[in-house]
Homo-oligomer: A and B are copies of this chain.
């Protein structure tokens, strides 16, 4: 058939991570590619208990159509947790439950971006965000990341020269770099957003997973209504449940609700009630503590193995939390060109390219440490070290 598809869908690249799924089933393959939690951390029995309770107590509502905004007790729980963690007052009416925070990104892009609108993203940025925004045909501007956060001079330059709809950031244990913005950097970002009357989309799936250093307040806490904040239960309870949320002021929330209605009516209410029941009956902080202990060991193991097995000239970030490290290879070595060799050696990672708007043959790559045990991490880093060494040798 000769179907004319929409211009917009033609602009969306397939997710590299989703495409790589196909090789993951090969025997002995070790994946450092996805952003998967360690399934050993899933509270399976507690979720089973919660599911039973939800159906016993009020199965008729748990299985019926429900409100677009989400299940009120769950929204109140999220509101209270912001209060407890940061002293932030966020009324539950300003929280919309979404199918994972990926949907929140799509809904925000949907209500904010017209073809050609300017938006600012990090360089590199979360590939799922680039993918979801690209559908709406914005003009991307990429702002460099430094050790302490975003390059503020470059950010101000972009805010001054364009009228961007928003700046999209992952300020905690960023995906893909693992970097975290300092408090000072955040305060400046907030000031610039206010000064240039822009919006901030602050994506925060990882901040609960801090193993080292001190918690930093969300940028939203330094901003008023120009701050939009995203969160997720994917990394602290279960990603399969697809439960995320977006915090937005009433003016934006109103549009998001309309967009959500038109998109899928509402988020799975059975899942919302089950997760709420789980949170109510269990100690989330204790659960998160066990996840963090697990991930800290895995992260430390990867750091050690990288020191042992990676060739000279490769630099790697050392995140204080979250799920990822970011490696920079010697100049001129394309991580994308290493992928076939890596797969032949039964190891996968995500090359840098999809984390940039247009860059190809980047010398960067993302490594995930949460979904492999220490034996696997050692083996994977050893294999990857050899693949990188071979590439360096071949260049000589």
Contacts and interface: CB of A to CB of B under 8 A. Distances in A.
B5 A255 contact: yes
Contacts of A7: 114
Given A242-B264, A262-B135, A264-B99, A44 B37 contact: no
A97 B14 CA distance: 18
Interface in A208-241: 225-226, 234, 238-241
Given A9-B111, A9-B255, A265-B102, A36 B55 contact: no
B112 A6 contact: yes
A30 B9 CA distance: 43
A60 interface: yes
Interface string A2-40: 111111110011110010010000000000001111011
Given A52-B48, A64-B39, A271-B271, A5 B112 contact: yes
Contact of A6 (B67, B136, B242, B270): B136
Contacts of A52: 48, 51-52
Interface string A92-124: 000000111011001000111110000000000
Contacts of A12: 258-259, 262
A263 B106 contact: yes
A66 B238 CA distance: 11
Given A3-B252, A9-B255, A99 B268 contact: yes
A90 interface: no
B18 A68 contact: yes
Given A55-B51, A99-B99, A241-B268, A262 B132 contact: yes
A261 interface: yes
A1 interface: yes
The 9 A-B residue pairs with the shortest CB-CB distance, nearest first, are: A44-B59, A39-B60, A63-B238, A99-B264, A103-B264, A51-B51, A48-B55, A240-B269, A63-B240
21 contacts: A3-B251, A3-B252, A5-B111, A5-B255, A9-B255, A13-B258, A42-B60, A44-B55, A47-B63, A51-B52, A62-B240, A63-B238, A64-B238, A65-B234, A65-B239, A100-B264, A106-B262, A132-B263, A134-B262, A241-B270, A268-B271
